[in-house]
């Protein structure tokens, strides 16, 4: 009985490692350990960004998308800042505008094409597009808000 339990435990651990490797393979490395002398540890917003990245890339079916391409997705904001508030996210793990590279061009292009489509579809005339830097983000994952009043 004890050997069987140990075997199941080892299999569960192995399955967890394999599943974790799959889910996090396309994310940029971020320190997870919190040591007293750590200067680059994962903060709350960074953890939320990492989880958002995994969700957007690996579990797209659970995201209530308003508009979507293979490189970006738009959702209605869960915590609206205005009457109209769409959150548009690239489907690549990018922390903020300072992390952009040439390889991110297609993701940013699709992000703004989705914003343009939303403006036309919802007939929005007076709007703002906002993206906060790391110190102002509630989650460290590049995203844009399309804001307007009714």
Summarised one tens digit per residue, pLDDT across range 82-128 is 999 999 999 888 888 998 999 999 999 999 999 999 999 999 999 99
Residue-range domain boundaries for the chain:
28-148
Summarised one tens digit per residue, pLDDT across range 105-115 is 999 999 999 99
Which residue has 């958002």 as its token pair?
52
Contacts of 114 (CB under 8 A, 6+ apart): 67, 68, 69, 72, 73, 74, 88
* DSSP of 39-100: SSBPPHHHHHHHHHHHHHHH-GGGS-EEEE-SSEEEEE-SS-SSSEEEEEEESS---SGGG-
Distance from C-alpha of 69 to C-alpha of 60, rounded to nearest angstrom: 11
pTM as predicted = 0.66
Distance from C-alpha of 110 to C-alpha of 89, rounded to nearest angstrom: 9
- The tally of CA atoms less than 13 A away on the side-chain side of residue 17 is 6
Q: Does domain 28-148 have CATH number 3.40.50.1970?
A: no
């Amino acid at each position: 009985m004890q050997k069987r339990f140990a075997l199941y435990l080892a299999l569960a651990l192995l399955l967890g490692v394999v599943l974790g490797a799959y889910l996090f393979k396309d994310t940029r490395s971020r320190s997870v350990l919190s040591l007293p002398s750590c200067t680059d540890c994962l903060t709350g917003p960074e953890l939320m960004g990492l989880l958002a990245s995994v969700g957007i890339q690996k579990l797209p079916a659970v995201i209530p998308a308003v508009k979507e391409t293979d490189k970006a997705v738009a959702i209605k904001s869960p915590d609206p800042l205005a009457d109209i508030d769409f959150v548009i996210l690239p489907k690549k793990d990018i922390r903020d505008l300072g992390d952009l590279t040439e390889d991110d061009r297609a993701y940013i292009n699709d992000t703004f094409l989705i914003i343009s489509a939303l403006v036309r579809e919802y007939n929005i005339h007076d709007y703002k597009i906002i993206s906060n830097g790391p110190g102002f983000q509630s989650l460290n994952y590049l995203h844009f808000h399309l804001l307007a009043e009714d």
